[in-house]
Amino acid sequence: MLNLSLQDILFSAMLAMVITWIVKKAFLIIRAIFTRTTELGYKPKDLEEVLQRCYSMFPIESFRFNGLLFQRGMLVRVVNSRNVIIEGEFIGISEDNMICFLTPNSVVAQEIDNIEEIKSLG
């Protein structure tokens, strides 16, 4: 039979909490690396500057997805692999397969490989 003291039980509980915290943080970091979604807010007065910066960072103006052609300026609805819906204007694509969208409140960059669906809104 095991003879455990209160100190052994408390130490085990604290160790389990630390291990759980480490595993959760590691999972968040890994998920952030592999899903590669970035969202940055902007102020309406800075819209022109934001657009010029996005055009230079995402210079490719069109792409095909599931046989459909999407071009800069189109309004689109995107569903990513985490089932997050992004609605906004397609800005462009970077050389490393990141797509940029402009929403009313933010600029969103999403890796193409993590996109499940794209639809034109008009």
CATH number of 38-120: 2.30.30
Residue 72 one-letter amino acid: R
pLDDT truncated to tens, each residue of the chain (122 aa)?
Answer: 678 899 999 999 999 999 999 998 887 776 665 556 677 788 888 888 888 988 999 999 999 998 999 999 999 999 988 888 889 999 999 988 889 999 988 898 888 888 889 999 87
Q: What is the pLDDT of residue 26?
A: 84
Supply angle C-alpha 111, 117, 121, rounded to 5. 110
What backbone phi and psi angles, to 5 degrees, belong to 99? -105, 140
Predicted TM-score (pTM) above 0.85: no
Where are the chain's structural domains? 1-35, 38-120
Round to whole Å and give the CA distance between 27 and 97: 24
